Amino acid sequence: MADPADGTPQRSHARSNRARILEVARRELGARPDATLDEIARAAGVVRRTVYGHFPGRAALLDALAEEAATALREVLTTAGGPAPGPEEAFARFLLALWPIGDRYRMLLSLARRDLGEERVAELLAPTSAYCTAVLAQGQESGAFHRQLPAPVLSNALQGLTFSLLESVNLGEWQDDGTRATTATLIAAGVSPDRAATVVRELNCPGT
């Protein structure tokens, strides 16, 4: 058993507070993008000093949320980035796994670039961007995806499409579990509508 004098209970309590603050911040910023740290502290049920002890400013809080999202995205790469029958399936599987994370952190789409800057956002998205570019390049070589754009440019364009679809959810314009978004993105990559729908349906319902 740890000696209470070694600070372990305090560290555990601090970690718990930090996790709660981030959880509440996701919710509050999703509903009110201009929510202040004081308002987030009240919603989290902690004193103002506690929030500022973890996050000295709004940018630090948003950066922590962005890091959390980036970690979740890297985990998707380990689970969805394994062998697949072809690039269409690999790309669709990644997009379907990505959607819940994007949905959870979609409030960052309207805040990250403004508060963190384009360079920081690009840094956080670098692993997923690299994976998408590689899959798209493979698909272009095999003929699965169109070759109107170089793979890195196509990857950026499709990333923009995904962000736009997530923002539409954020604005309440539509709802999706990732199925229609993935289908639309495959079509934008050059897959026929029927083939795109089939790939997504088979991934969602194996054996059908």
DSSP 3-state assignment of 80? helix
Q: Which tokens is 85 given?
A: 């029958």
Task: Identify the band that residue 81 occupies on the pLDDT scale cut at 50, 70 and 90.
Answer: low
The tens digit of pLDDT for each residue in 157-207 reads 999 999 899 888 878 899 999 999 999 999 999 999 999 999 999 998 865
The residue with greater pLDDT, 156 or 115, is 156
C-alpha closest to that of 111 among 52, 162, 21, 35: 35
**Residue 5 DSSP code:** G
pTM for this entry: 0.79
Token pair 């994007």: residue: 102
CATH of 59-204, one of 1.20.140.10, 1.10.357.10, 1.20.1440.80, 1.10.760.10: 1.10.357.10
The tens digit of pLDDT for each residue in 97-146 reads 989 888 888 777 668 777 878 888 888 888 889 999 999 999 999 999 99
In CATH, 1-56 is 1.10.10? yes
In the chain, CATH 1.10.357.10 sits at 59-204
Q: Which tokens is 65 given?
A: 């949320």
Mean pLDDT is lowest, of 1-5, 77-81, 139-143, for 1-5
